Amino acid sequence: MKWKNLLIGLILSLTFVAPAMAVDKVIEFTWQHADPVAQDVVKFTIYMSSETGANYIPLFDIPFVAVEGTYTAEGTITVPDNQETTRYFVATAVDGQGNESSYSNEVNVTIDNVPPDTPITFKAVVKVVTQ
């Protein structure tokens, strides 16, 4: 059997929600799969966790449509305000019988919700202009 690596990409548009703000950011995932057609892959599932290596929850199911392509999905992730937060992601492949592969390698993304320092020594001076 001849194997070929196929590149599949997902551009995930997420809204990161913190208590005081909502910011749209984009995460782009790419992966390779040996032969999704021959293996009857019907979807890929993206999982997320707030800790490395454990407690993944399903975030998105991405239906398999074409051998090479880019898929897009949108969603919301809630993250703490005023701090950096790291989220961990893995992917699986699911076939037509519902069999799911093991997790892919883990990737992580750090979301920076730390505001800049407050300006200091801010002053205003009233000047009289004569003509």
- CA-to-CA separations, 87 to 21, 47, 62, 79, in angstroms, rounded: 18, 10, 19, 9
**What CATH number should be reported for the domain whose range is 6-112?**
2.60.40
Q: 0.75 exceeded by the pTM?
A: no
pLDDT tens per residue, range 27-81: 778 787 777 777 888 998 999 999 999 999 998 888 887 776 677 777 777 777 7
DSSP H or E run through 68:
none
- C-beta separation of 36 from 54 below 8 A: no
Tokens of 22: 């909502």
pLDDT in tens, 90-116: 999 999 999 999 999 999 988 887 888
Q: Give the CA-trace dihedral at 73, 74, 79, 83, to 10 degrees.
A: 80
Distance in angstroms (rounded) separating the CA atoms of residues 99 and 104: 15
Check residue 100 and give its pLDDT: 96
Residue ranges of domains in the chain: 6-112
Amino acid at 25: K
Side by side, which strands form the sheet with 21-33? 21-33, 6-18, 69-78
